[in-house]
Structure 1
Amino acid sequence: MIVNNELYGLGFTKPISLCIAVSIAAIPAVSNAKEMKASTSIAASTNQLNALIESALSQDSSRAQYTAQSLAMTESGAASATLMDPKLKVGFGGLPVDSFKFDEDPMTNISVGLMQQFERGSTLELNQRKASQQASGLSLQVSLREREVASQMTQLWLELGYLQYAESIIVENQRLMTEMEQFVTTNYSIGKSEAQDLLNTQLQVNKLEEKLQLNHQMQSRIVSQFSEWLGSNWLGSNRSLSASYSLSWPTLNTILSSHAGTAQYYNQLNQHPMAQMADSNISVNQIQVEVAEQAYTPQFGVEVMYAYRQANNMKGEPASDLVSAYLTMDIPLFTGNRQDKNLAAAQHQVGAAKYQKDTLLAQMNAQVNALMNDRINLQERIERYQERLLPQATARTQAVERGYQNSTAQFGDVITASSDELALQLEVARLTTDLNITNSKLAALLGGFEYTSPESPLTHSK
């Protein structure tokens, strides 16, 4: 809250003004008490948030979608590793056109045959491995979705906690300014204050009401955003949440401690779902190279036919039935424009997939280093506030209060000093919120969240 210099020298009587000064001086103590209470409930707030995240993940439809897609790819792989269905061949041959009788010419026969085509080399096995690897890549989408949901919900939780703390500061300022309005009104009625003093005080009260309304609006918006993951039923029964702008990060702190003094986080980033998906993509393309190499091996087919004859042979005896068997084989002799090109294309895809992963890791490592820079600076700024600015603001407030009691300072000076101290406390809360949001982003990259991942969701029954 900003208090104009026009509030200086409002002409309050000493006893009444002293009461207000004591009230103002008590606000930092109240704020400090609330801050201490918030710090002691960090673990409880973290557990509450983790419970919400786990509840959201257990009913997240996107996780169910990725799981279903992974199962579908697994089933497709099993289908692709199966030989083609055999072909049944039924017909007749050698039928005389002058009589169309089956027992007149010994060459006439009714035949039944089966044809079976075999894939080249190990193509079937490779296709199954490829589909299985693709299914593994899709299943990693579940882990990626979990980190995205956890990061988004954590950041909203921290913003909600900050807004709730800011609300308490606004309420305290509103209470103070309401009392000031009453005192200014009393002094104005006895001619000790000007009309502009009363109008300025009323304006400050109305501004605080507007800030409080905006704060409530932003809190309601954040709570409504939680319904994206927790559902509309949850929203109807959980309009009020007690959040915190600070959380505990034991797992993240352990990870960062193990990488102290280095700017390379590649070992940890390789465990990120996106990096693992890139590895899966490389494996898929490597298998595709092996599939392309199978095109240099011949493809075989087998055909067996049985021919039934009704006519007699030239000796007048029943003609013997016939059995035929064939082996077909295509030989890849001219490979320059087909097999060679397909193999070269598959090899280039492997190289492209590896470069893609290298680019991804470089981008993610740069993000981690940028976040680490923000984290260090935020910690230093918070330390400066706690060790220098806040103690100085408190000492200033106390000095102004003593000066006012000794008639060497104006009542407006007391208001300004107390308001500045409250503003600094709110700035510390903002920095703490930003620090925890930075931790949330780092946790999403390095795997530092504390929630327990629920079991993979089952697909809907058919």
Structure 2
Amino acid sequence: MYNNKIYRALGIVSLIGFAASSWANAYPGNGPSESATLNSLINWAIEHDVAQQKIQFQADAISEMGIANSQLMDPKMKVGIGGLPVDSFAFDEDPMTNISVGLMQQFGRGNSLSLQQKQSQQQAGSVRKQADIRKLDVTKVITNTWIELAYLDQSQQLIKQNQDLFRELTRYLSTNYGVGASQAQDLIQAELQVNKIDDQLQSNQQMQQRLRAQLSEWLGEQAWQVKPKAYPQWQALNTYLAASPDNHYQQLASHPNIQVADELIKSNETGIELANESYQPQFGIEVMYAHRQANRMDGSAAPDLVSAYVTMDLPLFTEKRQDKKLSAAQHQVGASRTQRDLMLRQMHAQISAATIDRDNTQQRLERYRSTLLKQAKEKTQAVERGYQNNTSQLDEYIRAASEELVIELEQARLAADLQQANNNLAYLLNKY
């Protein structure tokens, strides 16, 4: 009687284990509807991202300030009294006394005003390019969270099926224990395993809730309804990698990070042009009109006077000013170009590292699918037969079933790690 019930319990256990492993091998898939759902979430997050608005405001501010700084200086008005006698302070006593009104206008140095506007537009363009970086960042973060949620959902299902397995076993052992057909230690062992699985499920749920809370930064309340059931398909990335390029520098040149660096270089090169304009003289004009009230010595009315001047500064001593400005601008260009080269090298190295991770993870995942999981199942089945024949203990079977679950979870983790490697490559290569 005892053996028949145990055989029945273990038969149900085996059936559940087989269903769980079959589900693990098939899930998650790459259905197009799930991928489209991920894309729609990313598009919604980008459209409602306040950081995009901030970047646009910053670019507009730089552009408007550039227009303001590229205009001529406001003209200055000069009003005064000249040649006023101090003994009488009379305006009509001395013919030299006059009331004058004048205007002064200063012009830009060479082409400096147009160059300042050009530089401001380049700086604004560099800021606008940062919006593309932000889009990539949002895409990467949401895709990362999507992958982790898909993995945790898969793990949850595996753990639940393992839990159902041991609950079924616990019920049979409890029934047999009530009639004296099973040992107390076997029942306790099975109940302990059920409680341990409960803790695993709670930990899994905690991680899912944390990820959804983080996802709400971009998706708001809809983050709590996200239920990913498939991994991304990576069509653009796979097409690119299928060509097996050894050098990724050409592709990296179109990455927003590098484009921002390119705009910065252009802006600094314009700074050299501005520094060269500092060697040019700066001109100004001044026009004065003087009204006189006194008469000449012959009694005739003194005529009013008009004066006109042209001013020009003389940049004669350039060693400590203009030369240093030009040298500083040239160093700035060198620094920005070096920064671009450094960024290219770093990103290329990151691509190489991500490619190595991707390849090795694929190999390890294949090993799990073809060998490790198969061996774990065979071991569980062997221990099960031994338990049925009273040649092994229940705790041996529980350990074997637990090890099989661990391997299934490790395989699921490797599948998620492969997706994360693809995510890193798609970000670096701009191939979402």
TM-score, length-scaled by structure 2: 0.93
The 3-state SS of whatever aligns with 2:233 is: coil
1:63 and 2:46 are equivalent in the alignment: no
Counterpart of 1:14 in structure 2 is 4
Does the CA contact (< 8 Å) of 2:30 and 2:231 recur in 1? Answer: no
Q: Which amino acid aligns with 2:14?
A: I
Question: 2:333, 2:343 → 1: CA distance?
Answer: 15
Question: 1:427, 1:37 → 2: CA distance?
Answer: 14
Does the CA contact (< 8 Å) of 1:157 and 1:244 recur in 2? Answer: no
Structure 2 residue corresponding to 1:387, chosen from 333, 354, 370: 370
1:295 and 2:274 are equivalent in the alignment: no
Counterpart of 1:283 in structure 2 is 266
Counterpart of 2:211 in structure 1 is 222
1:433 and 2:416 are equivalent in the alignment: yes
The 3-state SS of whatever aligns with 1:296 is: coil
The structural deviation recorded for 1:24 is 2.5
Does the CA contact (< 8 Å) of 1:113 and 1:305 recur in 2? Answer: yes
The 3-state SS of whatever aligns with 1:334 is: coil
Structure 2 residue corresponding to 1:36, chosen from 14, 19, 26: 26
The structural deviation recorded for 1:210 is 0.9
The structural deviation recorded for 1:150 is 1.2
Question: 1:303, 1:398 → 2: CA distance?
Answer: 103
Question: 2:207, 2:341 → 1: CA distance?
Answer: 40
Write the mapping of 1:28-427 to structure 2, written as runs, cut at 5 A.
Answer: 28-33=18-23, 35-36=25-26, 38-41=28-31, 43-231=32-220, 234=221, 239-244=224-229, 246-258=231-243, 260-262=244-246, 264-394=247-377, 403=385, 407=389, 412=394, 418-427=401-410
Q: Which amino acid aligns with 2:257?
A: M
Question: 1:352, 1:132 → 2: CA distance?
Answer: 21
Question: 1:31, 1:385 → 2: CA distance?
Answer: 12
The structural deviation recorded for 1:244 is 3.6
1:25 and 2:10 are equivalent in the alignment: no
Which blocks of at least 5 consecutive residues in structure 2 are unaligned? none
14-23 vs 274-283, which moves further: 14-23
Question: 2:253, 2:342 → 1: CA distance?
Answer: 13
Cα distance, 1:261–1:84 mapped onto 2, change above 3 Å:
closer
Does the CA contact (< 8 Å) of 1:115 and 1:302 recur in 2? Answer: yes
Does the CA contact (< 8 Å) of 1:25 and 1:397 recur in 2? Answer: no
The structural deviation recorded for 1:399 is 6.4
Question: 1:114, 1:104 → 2: CA distance?
Answer: 27
Aligned length: 431
Which blocks of at least 5 consecutive residues in structure 1 are unaligned? 1-10, 450-462
Q: Which amino acid aligns with 1:323?
A: V
The structural deviation recorded for 1:275 is 1.1
Cα distance, 1:149–1:416 mapped onto 2, change above 3 Å:
same
Does the CA contact (< 8 Å) of 1:268 and 1:446 recur in 2? Answer: yes
Question: 1:246, 1:40 → 2: CA distance?
Answer: 6
Q: Which amino acid aligns with 1:150?
A: T
Cα distance, 1:138–1:255 mapped onto 2, change above 3 Å:
same
Q: Which amino acid aligns with 1:366?
A: A
Does the CA contact (< 8 Å) of 2:387 and 2:397 recur in 1? Answer: no
Q: Which amino acid aligns with 2:16?
A: A
The structural deviation recorded for 1:203 is 0.8
Cα distance, 1:367–1:245 mapped onto 2, change above 3 Å:
farther
The structural deviation recorded for 1:426 is 2.3
Question: 1:34, 1:428 → 2: CA distance?
Answer: 9
Greater RCO (CA < 8 Å, at least 6 residues apart):
1
Question: 1:112, 1:121 → 2: CA distance?
Answer: 29
Deviations 1:94-149 (A, max 9, x none): 12222222222221111110001112111101111111111111111111111111
The structural deviation recorded for 1:419 is 4.6
Counterpart of 1:3 in structure 2 is none
Cα distance, 1:23–1:406 mapped onto 2, change above 3 Å:
closer
437-446 vs 422-431, which moves further: 422-431
Q: Which amino acid aligns with 2:312?
A: M
Question: 1:99, 1:35 → 2: CA distance?
Answer: 110
